[in-house]
Structure 1
Amino acid sequence: MSLPASPRLPSGPRRRSLLASAAGAALLVGCSGGSDSGDPDGGPSATERARARAARDSEVLAGRYTAVIAAHPGLAERLRPLREDVLRHAEAFGAVRAPSPEASPSVSARAAGPQDGSETVPPSGVPAREKDALALLADAERELAGRRTGVLAEVPGELARLLASVAAAGAAHVYLLTEGDG
C-alpha cells in the first residue's frame, strides 16, 4: 500500500536545487588569464587587490561560521556544508586553506593586499539564541553578496564572473539559513 502524496507544496526552491545551483556556480570558476600585471610602482593591481579582498571577506565569513558552530554545536550539521562552501570560495579567490578543517581562517590573503578594516566576530560576539546566530550569519551572507554584486562593473570579466557566482551562492546560503523562519 503506497502512502498518499503530501498535500503541501514546497514554497520556493528546494534545498537540493539550491545546493546544485551553488555547486554549478563553483564550476564556473575559470583559469586566471588576467593581463592586469600591477601598477608601475610594483604594487598589486586593482584586480589583485579586489581578489585579495574577496578572499579575506570569505575567510572572515568562514570565521563567523566557525564561531557560531563553536557556540552552538547543535547547528554544526546544518552549518558545516555552508562553511565548507565559503572556504572553497576563499580558495577560488586565492586564499590557502588552513590544514585543520576547524582551524581559523588563513592569513595568506591578508598578506596579499592592504588591510581595509574588515571586521571579525569574536566567539563572544555570537548571539546566545540559535535563531539569532543564524540571523547573524544570514545578514553577513546577504551583506557580502550585495557588496560583491556592487563591484562587478569595476573588475575584469573572469573575476566578475567569479564574484557573481559566489554572490549567487551567498544568496542561496541566506535562503538555507532562513528556511523555516516565518
Structure 2
Amino acid sequence: MQRTGTTRRGALTATGALALGAVLTGCGGDGEAADGRRPTRSGARADAVRAERALREKAVRDGARLIAHYDLVAEAHPATAAGLAPLRAAVREHGKALAPPRAKGAPDEAAPPAPGPVSTDPGTAVKELAAAERRRADAHTEALLTAEPELARLLASVAAAAAAHAYLLTELGKETAA
C-alpha cells in the first residue's frame, strides 16, 4: 500500500533541501547587471531593501490568511481546536518574525479576507489546512531564490516548520476522520 501525503522522510528531506538552499543563497554572483554594467551600490542596496520588504510583506499576508483559515476550522469544528491551537500560535510567531520593520506612525495593514467556507467534515477541513501549509512551505522555498542571506535563512526555517505542520495536520486529519 502506497502512502499519500507528507511522510517523515519527506519532511526531513525537505528540511535538508531548505537548509542547502539557504546555504547556497548566501553565495551570490559578481553583482553585474544583465547589460554588463555594475549597478551603483546605493541603487542596488535600495532595490535589495525594497525586494526584501516585498517578500516579508507577502509572507506576513499569507500567514495572516492562514491564521484566518485556522480560526474558521476551529470555529466550524470545535473538537479540532485543541490540536490546531499550537500550530496556529506558531504561524502567528512566524508572522512576527517575518514582519518588516514599521515606520513611525505607519498604519497597521488590514487583515486579508478569510478563505472561503471550510468543509463540513472535520477530517477534510484539517486536511485542507495541511494543503495550505504545504503551499506556504512551497512559497517560502521559492522565495529563497531571491532573498538576501539573512532573510533566506529565516524563510528556510519557516518553510521547514510549515512542512512539519503539514505532516502533523495530515496525521490529525486521519485521526479526526476515524
**If the TM-score is normalised by the length of the shorter chain, which range does it land in?**
0.5 to 0.7
Q: Residue deviations 1:11-33, cap 9 Å, x none? A: x75xxxx9xx9xxxxxxxxxxxx
Equivalent AA in structure 2 for residue 133 of structure 1 = A
Maintained 8 Å contact 1:94/1:109: no
Provide the C-alpha distance between the structure 1 equivalents of 2:89 and 2:144, rounded to a whole number of angstroms: 24
CA distance in 1, matches of 2:158, 2:128: 19
The equivalent position to 2:136 in structure 1, one of 141, 144, 148, is 144
Map residues 12-161 of structure 1 onto 2, 5 A cutoff: 38-39=46-47, 45-94=50-99, 108=108, 120-122=114-116, 125-161=117-153
Q: Which runs of 5+ in 2 are unaligned?
A: 1-6, 16-41, 102-106
Higher relative contact order, chain-length normalized (CA < 8 Å, sep 6+): 2
Distance in 2 of aligned mates of 1:174 and 1:92: 20
8 Å CA contact 2:53, 2:100 repeated in 1: no
Task: Give the counterpart letter for 1:130 in structure 2.
Answer: P
Q: How many residues align?
A: 131
What is the match of residue 34 of structure 2?
none
Equivalents in 1 of 2:100, 2:46: separation in Å?
A: 19
Q: Distance in 2 between matches of 1:175 and 1:89?
A: 18
Task: Go from structure 1 to structure 2 and tell me whether the alpha carbon gap of 1:71 and 1:86 turns closer, same or farther (over 3 Å shift).
Answer: same
Q: Which residue of 1 aligns with 2:171?
A: 179
CA distance in 1, matches of 2:154, 2:160: 10
> Which stretches in structure 1 are left out of the alignment for 5+ residues?
1-11, 22-34, 97-106, 112-117
- 8 Å CA contact 2:127–2:170 kept in 1: the answer is yes
* CA-to-aligned-CA distance 1:82-128 (integer Å, 9 cap, x gap): 000000001111179xxxxxxxxxx93569xxxxxx77314xx1100
Distance 2:65 2:78 in 1: 20
Task: Give TM-score scaled by structure 1 length.
Answer: 0.63
Q: CA shift at 1:37, angstroms? A: 5.7
Contact kept in structure 1, 2:56 and 2:100, CA below 8 Å: no
Q: CA RMSD in A?
A: 3.1
Give 1:88's aligned amino acid: E
Once the two structures are superposed, residues 160-182 of structure 1 have per-residue CA deviations (whole angstroms, 9 ceiling, x without a partner) of: 11111000000110111111639
